[in-house]
Structure 1
Amino acid sequence: MLSRLSSPQLCSRVVVVTRGVASAGQVTAHSSDNSIGFFEKISYRFKGVPLPTETEAPKSMFDACNKEWSAPELLPAVPKDFKEHPDRDLTNYPYPSRPMYPPKTRLLMMPDSWFTAFQKVTGTSGPYLFFGGLFAFLVNKELWVFEEQGHMTVGWILFYLLVSRTAGYKIDAGLYKDYQDRVGFFKGLIQEDLKEAVEFRKTSAQQTESLNALKESLPTSFKESMQLQLEAAYRKNVQNISGEIKRRIDYLKETEETKARFERDQLLKLINESVEKQVSQKDFQEKFLQNAIQQIKGIAV
């Protein structure tokens, strides 16, 4: 575990020695699992070295140890002329820039900027002597009481270094992936909200292009359309006039037919009344009866 936290130069010097095996990094072709010790197998598992009977290298849980994670894409910079309010003073109060990568550190957790100012004056060992002497002075004068809570602080610092150097890379990568998924989700919502606007913009652009293409022929089209409208109005008026004339002719025809029928009915009525009046007279009946008798006699002869 300590070899994972140390530098690559120190890690290259660590050698696991077991009985019956000369080196942990060398495995001969004719060796077998029985010739490899238990602790050497554990070291192979930690290093990700396959055993002689394995065809693929095992995946070690410590592959991401001592790795520094960095975002694959840079954050977009704020435009220079961007202001959330016209009165914003960008000269004296510029927008803070978020660092893309973690700052350089020394001793696994100390910022390198703390050492640079001393190193220019005192040399390489100056900052280490200063901070070490300051720590010893604070503890000696009991300005920093190194009690039980102080020991717990040291333990928490060691725990943080252990977790950050072993699982920090995977944690940062997972958080970045969740962040990208969340950003993609919100982008999808924005795209859904702007879908109708985008479609309207495309349709408007197509209609504009169509109108520009027909711009030269529009006067002719309008003239022909006007002529067609006038022709349709003329035909409609002619149809209305012909229908009105036919309706009037039918009315006159029906009127004459009704008048002739009325005259015929009145004439027939007058004839029937005069005939009935004559038949009802006694002289007419006697004359008609004598005439009938004479006709019968003539027929009999």
Structure 2
Amino acid sequence: MTARTSDIEKAADVLRAGGLVALPTETVYGLGANAEDPAAVARIFQVKGRPPSHPLIVHIAGAELLGDWVEDVPETARLLAERFWPGPLTLVLRRGRRVPLEATGGLETVAVRVPGHPVALALLSAFGGGVTAPSANRFGHVSPTTADHVRAEFGGAVDFVLDGGPCAVGVESTIVDATGQTPTVLRPGGVTREDLEALLGRPPAVHTTSRIRVPGQHPSHYAPRARVVLVEPEKVVAEAELAQELGHRVGVLLPPAFTDAPVNAHAVVPVPGSAAAYARGLYGFLRELDRRGCDLIVASLPTEEGLGLAIANRLRRAAGPRPAA
């Protein structure tokens, strides 16, 4: 889907005026503000209910602009940007002077990427600057992959929703710390560990906790209203049926090997056999089970290869301990 030029210009005007724009990317929809406007950036945290210590990602229109936003660009970062931008890769580098500390959670590092969605790129070009854009959902909730998800989440709290159709990747970008000699994956995402290894000639380090704070590290994240329970694939049906018998309204993400199995549950969503299709549909599946009134979701982790690593990461966070109400 291609947004109308008039909508892109309107969205750019909203950003210039200090407003918030929900914009499509290839990963998920983002909640965007002018990256150089501390007051606009602060509104993102307010609307999302996001702790101000959690840094945001700055989206830019092209790899050639990277040096405008960071203090220096190591050779490995240039290599990664040339290969994977535009696309679902975020690089963490030392903060340049254009980036306010409000956007970095007070850190001297900044996360930057060039999104691989034509509507997002058109908006960035029309706006002529950087846009901070975490996922367009309440903090800790399921990320949005359609404009309707954003509208359902925020109603009128966002100044403009730029509709670019469903997101093609469906899980957030891979975040790589490129400040040191060895690139380190801080969050798995749309660029796989295998993709990075093929480029670098060696496996990247993978740390899901780090001295550098980045998006998606909170123990409970990407979570639907329903509680998520993870079990081994062969136990999904039995666990779901037991919970249903105990009075839960159970939703099931049914693994591919068991899609023909009858399940006594409130709602069943068969998981695609393709990791790419599963990633693209994951957040929509969780939202659908919420919409159908489930209070418990039973799922299993995919094989943690390729995009399976990112899917497993999101499911673990969705099943993580939740803060007390």
What TM-score comes out, normalization by structure 1 length? Answer: 0.19
> Whose helix fraction is larger, Structure 1's or Structure 2's?
1
Structure having greater relative contact order (Cα 8 Å, sep ≥ 6): 2
What TM-score comes out, normalization by structure 2 length? Answer: 0.18
* Bigger Rg, structure 1 or 2: 1
> Whose strand fraction is larger, Structure 1's or Structure 2's?
2
